[in-house]
């Protein structure tokens, strides 16, 4: 079989252009050269820059921020440079200045890539507990099809203060099924550590690797694919040559029990515990990538503790990032590729990914049930039609490194709905139903922020409601509110649900909630003074930790199920059509302690919510407000509101933010 052979030779040269009149002796200067003069293979790649743009074939091309040439004492080099924050390519969280091959090939074909390079900089800020921090990918194999996963990523990583860094390579599984959010990498050390070696806290680093590679130290890699097997070779002067093989067409990770211990420790805690399809990357088109794919970003580690680095990004200002060392820079001296002439066009990959990070993905594209809801946002705006709707201050989508989420965000103070002291960015179901007719709501979410200001003695402080049943008649009370609450300084918060009585008689001022703990405390656990907090819950849920709920109302009974990886599944039932609080003596001790002291000591009508029209709500209903606690020690949080300035509240952590990745709504079903 004929092959296309693209040999890339290192061709450095120096031109003598004579003496300057201002000097007493001759001085050598370099004439600018193009990248393709040094590595003449750019007609076979597209170049993606750190601003997310695809500039196509980089022939006679340079960009002084991202891609240019330089010379050290011995050689000419092609420089690839990328900041911690810029515009990204495709669905990635990370910037790159990287070549992507214009053709794709089957793993059953023959393909080769090699390169000689040195890493000159990795980001100097970030969270040391996050595996991706302080690292850069200098070579890849990428799939152009299916999930577009990466069977090879070659990393360099160096912790601040260390002289030597680590070189390692990762294999990412080609996840079985349609859900790719559970994909994971398995990392192999070459010189130094593998990917999983992290710091014990944000600024505490592991020991420096003894056999590591310093910034500015040359190393080379060779990648060869033949008959479905990937052969890797890594060389560097003064270091042991390392070789590896990996089967790309037959998986060793087809069962949950096949997951390596490294994956159990690193990825399973963040919910990435998938299995691989049996044939791995067989039948998919693969292509090479080469350059500087910066793995350090500014995203909050609570989003994803493997991939979100929390590094400095200087507000996205590229020059400030470069000045502060918050970038990755890789120099290449030589490289070549060799692929079968049966390789085909990779245009489909670029068509799908070019400009994708700048395209709007609407919430209804992530959670399709939006046509069944209207929304009230934190500025008091109501929107009836949520198809192709977003609002960047309140309601939009994001990617956390593995999947897309719908974001609901609302400040401590904005414009509220009638009869409420609290802002919300929350869906309101259009259908109404009685408890006897029933309904079902599910949601998988993670709370990313609750207000950091408030009065710890007030039960509602530092909390947000993420799901509700609301009555549309009578007193318009709430037979269900699902809360998340976390005190400042605590890592873990509590999930609990409240039942609000449907007060007997016309006077609703005596209404109260009874709170039931799911994980952690219930609502009645409060501080002893304004800034004195109770003990942190042992079995609580952290910000950024995923949990799910199911609310199933069937024939007047509400069935609740709560699930979270690593936590006990909890189930509850509550009768919505027959009250257990019809007499003053029925009030629970919790209610006597929390509500009776502020004059809320009502009883409930015997039939509770029977016959009343109800509807579901879901999103972020911020329970922390700026009202004085002297007004109500249960619901008036005394939080900072910055005069109602929403931007200032967001800047200072005085808001609630909840992300949902899945949700459904429909009719109630017989309980299992």
Read off φ and ψ for residue 268, nearest 5 degrees.
-60, -40
Q: Which range is least confidently modeled, 12-16, 96-100, 215-219?
A: 12-16
Neighbours of 154 (CB within 10 A): 25
554-557, long-range: CB < 8 A, 24+ apart: 554/438, 554/668, 554/669, 554/670, 554/671, 555/436, 555/438, 555/668, 556/435, 556/436, 556/438, 556/610, 557/671
Give yes or no for residue 479 having a pLDDT over 50.
Answer: yes
pLDDT > 90: percent of the chain: 88
Q: Is the whole model's pTM more than 0.85, yes or no?
A: no
Q: Which two tokens stand for residue 127?
A: 């969270």
All structural domains of the chain: 3-358 (2.60.120.200), 363-666 (2.60.120.200)
Provide φ and ψ at 34, rounded to 5°: -90, 160
Is 136 strand, coil or helix? Answer: strand
The reported pLDDT for the residue numbered 173 is 98
Q: What is the DSSP string of 321-367?
A: HHHHT-EEEEEEEEEEEEEETT-EE-HHHHHHHTTGGGS---HHHHS
pLDDT tens track for 265-305: 999 998 899 999 999 999 999 999 999 999 999 999 988 99
Of 167, 179, 168, 172, nearest to 143 by C-alpha is 172
* Cβ atoms < 10 Å from Cβ of 376: 24
Q: What are phi and psi of 616, to 5 degrees?
A: -90, 155
DSSP-derived letter for residue 430 is S
pLDDT class of 32 with cuts at 50, 70, 90: low
Of 433, 432, 435, the residue nearest 556 (C-alpha): 435
Tokens of 413: 């103070």
Per the CB < 8 A criterion, the answer to whether 650 and 392 are in contact is no
Q: What confidence score (pLDDT) does residue 5 get?
A: 40
Above 70 in pLDDT, residue 356? no
Task: Look at residue 172 and tell me whether its pLDDT is greater than 90.
Answer: yes
Residue the block writes with tokens 């050269």: 33
Using CA atoms, how far apart are residues 16 and 460, in angstroms rounded to an integer?
Answer: 76
Residue 8 has pLDDT above 50, yes or no: no
Give mean pLDDT, residues 490-518: 97
List beta partners, residue 656: 410
Distances (CA, A) of 483 to 450, 517, 587, 625: 11, 10, 22, 15
Q: Lowest-pLDDT range, 83-92, 418-427, 647-656?
A: 83-92
Average pLDDT estimate for 143-148: 95
Measuring CA to CA, which residue among 411, 416, 406 is closest to residue 376? 416
SS3 441: strand
538: helix, coil or strand?
A: coil
pLDDT above 60 (res 504): yes
Mean pLDDT, rounded, for 551-576:
97
**Residues 370-374: what's their mean pLDDT?**
98
- Asked whether residue 4 carries a pLDDT value surpassing 50, the answer given is no
274 CB-near residues (< 8 Å, 6+ apart):
173, 175, 176, 177, 179, 180, 181, 182, 183, 184
Contact 101, 287 (CB under 8 A): yes
129 pLDDT tier (thresholds 50, 70, 90): very high
* Rounded-to-integer distance, Cα 84 and Cα 312, Å: 7
Tokens 């790719």 belong to which residue? 180
Contact 600, 592 (CB under 8 A): no
Distance from C-alpha of 330 to C-alpha of 64, rounded to nearest angstrom: 14
Nearest to 436 by CA among 578, 254, 587: 578
The yes-or-no verdict on residue 19 having pLDDT over 50 is: no
CA distance 191 to 407: 41
Question: pLDDT over 70 for what percent of the chain?
Answer: 94
On whether the CB atoms of residues 484 and 495 are closer than 8 A, the answer is yes
How does pLDDT run across 596-621, given as a tens digit for each residue?
Answer: 999 999 999 999 999 999 999 999 99
Residues facing 547 on adjacent strands: 445
pLDDT class for 14, splitting at 50, 70, 90?
very low
How far is Cα 193 from Cα 497, in angstroms, rounded to an integer?
A: 45
């Amino acid at each position: 079989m004929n092959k296309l052979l693209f040999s890339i030779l290192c061709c450095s040269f120096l031109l003598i252009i004579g003496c300057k009149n201002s000097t007493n002796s001759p001085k050598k200067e370099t004439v600018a050269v193009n990248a393709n003069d040094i590595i003449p293979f750019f007609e076979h790649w597209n170049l993606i820059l750190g601003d997310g743009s695809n500039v196509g074939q980089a022939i006679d091309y340079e960009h002084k921020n991202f891609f240019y040439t330089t010379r050290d004492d011995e050689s000419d080099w092609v420089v690839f440079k990328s900041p911690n924050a810029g515009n990204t390519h495709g669905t990635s969280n990370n910037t790159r200045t990287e070549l992507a091959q214009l053709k794709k090939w089957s793993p059953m074909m023959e393909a080769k890539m090699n390169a000689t390079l040195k890493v000159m900089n990795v980001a100097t800020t970030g969270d040391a507990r996050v595996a991706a921090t302080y690292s850069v990918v200098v070579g890849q194999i990428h799939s152009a099809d299916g999930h577009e996963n990466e069977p090879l990523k070659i990393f360099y990583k160096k912790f601040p203060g260390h002289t030597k860094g680590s070189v390692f390579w990762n294999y990412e599984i080609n996840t079985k099924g349609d859900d790719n959010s559970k994909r994971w990498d398995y990392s192999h050390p070459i010189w130094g550590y593998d990917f999983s070696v992290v710091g014990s806290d944000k600024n505490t680093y592991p020991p420096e690797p003894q056999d590591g590679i310093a910034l500015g130290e040359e190393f080379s890699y060779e990648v060869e694919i033949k008959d479905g097997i990937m052969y890797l070779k890594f060389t560097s002067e003064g270091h042991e040559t390392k070789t590896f093989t990996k089967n790309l067409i037959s998986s060793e990770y087809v069962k949950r029990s096949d997951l390596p211990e490294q994956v159990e420790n690193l990825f399973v805690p963040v919910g990435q515990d998938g299995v691989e399809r049996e044939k791995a990357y067989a039948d998919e088109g693969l292509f090479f990538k080469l350059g500087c794919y910066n793995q350090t970003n500014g995203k909050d580690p609570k989003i994803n503790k493997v991939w979100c680095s929390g590094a400095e990004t200087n507000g996205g200002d590229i020059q400030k990032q470069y000045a502060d060392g918050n970038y990755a820079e890789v120099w290449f001296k030589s490289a070549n590729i060799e692929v079968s002439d049966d390789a085909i066009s990779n245009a489909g990959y670029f068509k799908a990914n070019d400009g994708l990070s700048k395209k709007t993905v609407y919430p209804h594209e992530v959670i399709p049930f939006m046509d069944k809801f209207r929304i009230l946002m934190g500025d008091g705006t109501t929107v009836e039609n949520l198809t192709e709707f977003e609002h960047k201050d309140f309601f939009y989508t994001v990617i956390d490194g593995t999947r897309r989420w719908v974001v609901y965000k609302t400040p401590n103070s904005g414009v509220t709905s009638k009869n409420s002291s609290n802002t919300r960015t929350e869906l309101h179901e259009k259908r109404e139903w009685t408890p006897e007719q029933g309904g079902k709501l599910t949601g998988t979410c993670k709370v990313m922020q609750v207000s950091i200001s408030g009065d710890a003695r007030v039960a509602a402080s530092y909390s947000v409601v993420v799901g509700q049943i609301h009555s549309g008649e009578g007193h318009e009370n709430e037979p269900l509110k699902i809360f998340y609450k976390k005190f400042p300084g605590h890592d873990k918060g509590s999930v609990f649900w409240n039942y609000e009585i449907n007060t007997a008689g016309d006077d609703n001022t005596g209404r109260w909630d009874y709170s039931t703990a799911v994980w952690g405390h219930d609502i009645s656990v409060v501080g002893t003074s304004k800034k004195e907090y109770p003990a942190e819950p042992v079995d609580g849920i952290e910000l950024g930790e995923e949990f799910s709920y199911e609310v199933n109302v069937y024939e007047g009974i509400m069935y609740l199920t709560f699930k979270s990886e690593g936590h006990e599944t909890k189930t509850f039932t509550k009768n919505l059509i027959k009250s257990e609080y019809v007499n003053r003596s029925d009030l629970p001790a919790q209610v006597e302690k929390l509500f009776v002291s502020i004059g809320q000591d009502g009883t409930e009508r015997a039939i509770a919510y029977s016959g009343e029209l109800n509807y579901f709500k879901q999103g972020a209903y911020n329970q922390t407000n700026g009202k004085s606690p002297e007004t109500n020690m249960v619901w008036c949080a005394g939080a900072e509101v910055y005069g109602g300035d929403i931007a200032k509240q967001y800047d200072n952590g005085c808001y609630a933010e909840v992300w949902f990745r899945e949700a459904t709504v429909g009719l109630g079903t017989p309980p299992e």
